[in-house]
Amino acid sequence: MLLAVVLWLAPGQARAFPDEPYSLDEGTKAHTKRFHIMGELGLFAGKLEGDQRSIIMSPLIEMRLQIAYSVLFQVVWGMAYANVDREDADADNAFRIGNPYAAFHYQGKKGQFSYRLGLGVTIPAATLPDDLNDRIGGAAQSAYTLAAALRGNTMYWLWDAHAVSVIIPIAFERRKPSGFLWGAYLDTGAMIKIHDNNNRTSKTDFIMQMVAMMGYQATDWLRVGSRFSLVLIPKFKEQNTQLAVEPYLRFGKDNAFGSIRLNINIDNPWGFSFDDRQVWGLRLGGGAAF
């Protein structure tokens, strides 16, 4: 039985696996497109607790290099700018860098099915000020918290200050000749606090991120669909559960693309997105393969 599973998973036609709706799908010749660069800008503006008005701009860049027939190396790095304006205080601004995330993936394809299994780790570059007033409710903390919130808390490890995370990503996709595409993605791991400036109470938090995706290739250059995500951090009381839905449009062909996504948080702490004092996220993306 074990031998049968191993043989089934052996890569038939390797390719760069499209784990996100905006990712490039190279078909059967991934080895001819070894390098990908992708990016997005996440945006949110709204009124949160009390009289606080917040504007968040969060760029994210991703690079992928296929280093062997079925091995992919991935790097993701995000940044965030926050402008926090309160009626009883001066406006506060902060630009923060996130934690770079690097991962190796084993990937392959069998018929209509694609799969990937990897191991990733973050570098603890995200930091918060030592001053308690700046750290609790200040623009620096808002930059990290809302950069995650506008993405439905997915990839929370990018924004977890003073921490190292170890993540195991697993992904499956099925593409039908009719143009329909389904995907299931599971990321599990541990976020390990390395400094007391981190706002989590536990030294180590388990995180599980589950995403389901469906899409339809409406034309040669346009894909429409939606993602449904659930992020669980059981011991982190303030952020222990976040459910979100994200409709998207992806336009372009094999070597270049653009995308528009709207993240709608459904439940607490950040949903429903369009209620007063809650968070939504507009995500504008694009990329190319070389």
DSSP summary character for residue 3: H
Residue 117: predicted pLDDT = 94
Best CATH choice for the domain 2-289 from the list 2.60.40.10, 3.40.50.620, 2.40.160.40, 1.20.120.530: 2.40.160.40
Task: Pick 113 or 188 by higher pLDDT.
Answer: 188
pLDDT of residue 273: 65
Average pLDDT value for the chain: 84
| Contact (Cβ atoms closer than 8 angstroms) between residue 236 and residue 165 | no
Using alpha carbons, select from 112, 103, 101 the residue that is nearest to residue 15: 112
Residue 110: pLDDT band by 50, 70, 90 thresholds?
confident
Contacts of 86 (CB under 8 A, 6+ apart): 50, 51, 52, 53
**pLDDT on residue 11:** 44
pLDDT, tens digit, for every residue of 239-276? Answer: 899 999 999 999 887 678 899 999 999 988 887 767 76
Q: Average pLDDT of 32-52?
A: 82
- pTM higher than the cut 0.75: yes
The predicted-structure confidence for 117-174, as pLDDT tens digits, reads as follows: 999 999 999 999 887 766 676 789 899 999 999 999 999 999 999 999 999 999 998 8
Strands (E), 153-255: 163-175, 180-193, 204-217, 222-232, 241-253
Does residue 8 surpass a pLDDT of 60? no
User: Is the separation of the CB atoms in 156 and 163 below 8 Å?
Assistant: no
Average pLDDT for residues 82-110, to the nearest whole number?
87
Predicted confidence band at 50 (pLDDT cuts at 50, 70, 90)?
low
Residue 19 has pLDDT above 80, yes or no: no
Given a cut of 50, whether residue 3 has pLDDT beyond it is no
> Rounded to whole angstroms, how far apart are CA atoms 77 and 99?
6
pLDDT digits (tens, 9 = 90+) for 199-237: 888 999 999 999 999 999 898 889 999 999 999 999 998
> Which pLDDT score is estimated for 51?
64
Give the domain ranges of the chain: 2-289
